[in-house]
Structure 1
Amino acid sequence: MRPRGTTLVATLLGLGLCGLALTGCAGPADPPKGPGPAEIAEKWTSCAEVAPQAGVMLPVRPGSATSPPAGVEPRVGRIDPAFTPVAAVLCGRDVVPGAAGGREQVAVERRADEIGPLVAALALADEERGRGDVACTADMLVPPWLALLDDQGRWLRPYLPMDVCGKPRREVRAALDGLRLTSVDSRTVGIVESSAAEAAGCAQQWADMVWVQASIGGPDPVAPGAAPGAAPKTGPLRLCVYQVPPSERGGGKPAGDFVYGRPLPPERQADVLRALVGTRPVADCATPASRFAVLRPVDDNGPQWYVELDACRRFLAVAPSGGSQLGQGDAALAALLGPS
Structure 2
Amino acid sequence: MRSGRTALAVALLALGGCAGGSVGPEVGDEPGPARIVEKWTSCAEAAPRAGAGVVLPAPDGAEPAPTGDDPAIGRIDPAFTPVAAVICGRETRPRPGGGAEQVATERRADDIAALVAALRLPNRRTYGEIACTLDMVVPPWLALLDERGRWLRPYLPTDVCGKPRAEVRAALDGLRLTTVDSRTVGQVGSPAAEAAGCEQRWADMVWVESTAGRPGPPTPATIPATEPLRLCVYQVPPSEQHGGKPAGDFAYGGPLSPDRQTAVLRALAAAGPATACATPASRFAVLRPPDGAAGPDRYVELDGCRRFLVVPPAGRAQLGQGDATLTELLGRD
Does TM, scored on the shorter chain, surpass 0.5? yes
Judge which range, 272-281 or 253-262, deviates more.
272-281
1:307 pairs with 2:300: yes
CA contact (8 A) 1:26 1:136 kept: no
Residues 56-84 of structure 1: CA distance to partner in whole angstroms, max 9, x if unpaired?
23359xxxxxxxxxxxx962122222221
Alpha-carbon distance between aligned partners in 1 of 2:281 and 2:308, rounded to the nearest angstrom:
11
Distance between the aligned counterparts of 1:151 and 1:173, measured in 2? 25
CA contact (8 A) 2:7 2:173 kept: no
| 2:134 aligned with 1:138 | yes
Contact 1:40 1:74 in 2 (8 A): no
* Matches of 1:112 and 1:86, distance apart in 2: 9
Q: Distance in 2 between matches of 1:140 and 1:271?
A: 45
State the distance in 2 between where 1:215 and 1:135 align.
Answer: 38
Asked if 1:15 is matched to 2:7, the reply is no
1:78 aligns with 2:51: no
Gaps of 5+ in 1: 19-24, 61-72
The more displaced of 309-318 and 42-51 is: 309-318
Q: Report the counterpart of residue 66 of structure 1 in structure 2.
A: none
Q: 1:4 to 1:98 in 2, by over 3 A?
A: farther
Code of the residue aligned with 2:241 in structure 1: it is: R
- Alpha-carbon separation, structure 2, partners of 1:8 and 1:128: 22
Change (3 A) 1:281 1:168: closer
* Distance verdict in 2 for CA 1:105–1:48, change over 3 Å: same
Q: Using the TM superposition, give the Cα deviation of residue 310 of structure 1 relative to its aligned residue in structure 2, in angstroms.
A: 0.9
- Is there any run of 5+ residues in structure 2 with no aligned partner, and where? 57-69
How many angstroms does 1:202 deviate by?
Answer: 1.2
Q: Which runs of 4+ in 1 moved over 6 A?
A: none
Alignment of 1:116 with 2:113, yes or no, is yes
Q: Is the 8 A contact 2:28 2:123 kept in 1?
A: no
Counterparts of 2:213 and 2:9 in 1: how far apart (Å)?
44
Deviation at 1:154, TM superposition (A): 0.9
1:205 to 191, 201, 214: 201
Give 1:242's aligned amino acid: Y
Aligned ranges 1:243-262 → 2 under 5 Å? 243-262=235-254
Q: Which has the higher strand share?
A: 2
Indicate the residue corresponding to 2:286 in structure 1.
294
Counterpart residue number, 2:94: 97
Establish whether residue 229 from structure 1 lines up as the match of residue 223 from structure 2: yes
CA drift at 1:87: 0.8
What letter is aligned with 1:215? T
Q: Write the deviation string for residues 212-245 of structure 1: whole angstroms up to 9, x where unpaired.
A: 233233533337xx36333xx6221111101112
Going from structure 1 to structure 2, the CA distance change for 1:37 and 1:328 (only over 3 Å counts) comes to closer
CA RMSD of aligned residues (A): 2.5
- Matched to 2:157, the amino acid is P
- Rounded to whole Å, the distance in 1 between the matches of 2:314 and 2:117 is 54
Distance 2:30 2:322 in 1: 60
Q: Structure 1 residue 279: deviation in Å?
A: 4.5
Alpha-carbon spacing, 1:221–1:170, altered in 2? closer, same or farther (3 Å): closer
- Mapping for residues 52-201 of structure 1, pairs under 5 Å: 52-58=48-54, 75-130=72-127, 135-201=131-197
Change (3 A) 1:332 1:10: closer
- 1:246-286 CA-to-partner distances (Å, cap 9, x unmatched) read 12212222221211111011122222222222245533322
Deviation at 1:99, TM superposition (A): 2.5
Does the 8 Å contact 1:227/1:276 carry over to 2?
no
Inter-partner Cα distance in structure 2 for 1:309 and 1:4: 44
TM-score, reference length from structure 2: 0.85
CA distance in 2, matches of 1:122, 1:139: 22
Aligned to 2:269: 277
Q: Displacement of 1:298 after TM fit? A: 2.7
Q: 1:130 deviation in Å?
A: 2.6
CA distance in 1, matches of 2:214, 2:27: 43
Aligned residues: 317
Contact 2:92 2:188 in 1 (8 A): yes
Native 8 Å contact 1:87 1:112 kept in 2:
yes
**Aligned equivalent of 2:213:** 217
TM-score by length of structure 1 reads 0.84
The answer as to whether partners of 1:40 and 1:155 remain within 8 angstroms in 2 is: yes
Identity %: 63
